[in-house]
Homo-oligomer: A and B are copies of this chain.
């Protein structure tokens, strides 16, 4: 059912960090690691019908609703890897204001700030 010409969602989202992330999940529980790879990514994420950038912006908003900072940072990076601009990520997080209120949204922008700062520190070129 997935498109053989599209890259896998998890290759785009995780990039070079994929082996490290998968290994961490497998160590927590091998079944859990397999469910996330085979079901969450290779089945649900790779299901056609909506582009990956939109899926990742939605994932970011849902992680704000869950109050899950570490995963939020992973999927802010994933949204940008899938082509989202910083403005689009800010727009996705801002949609949480009318639906979830300010405290959850402020925490999300704090995660965005940390991600952007870390990226700038790693790459000081203009």
Contacts and interface: CB of A to CB of B under 8 A. Distances in A.
Interface of A: 1, 25, 27-29, 31-32, 35-36, 39-40, 43-45, 47-50, 54-55, 57-59, 61-63, 65-68, 71, 87-88, 90-92, 94-107, 109-110, 112-113
| Count of identical protomers in the assembly | 6
Given A29-B90, A65-B62, A95 B44 contact: yes
Contacts of A58: 57-58, 61, 92, 95
Contacts of A96: 62, 101
Secondary structure type dominating chain A contacts: helix
A27 B90 CA distance: 13
Contacts of A101: 66, 96-101
Contacts of A47: 31, 91, 94
Contacts of A54: 54, 57, 88, 91-92
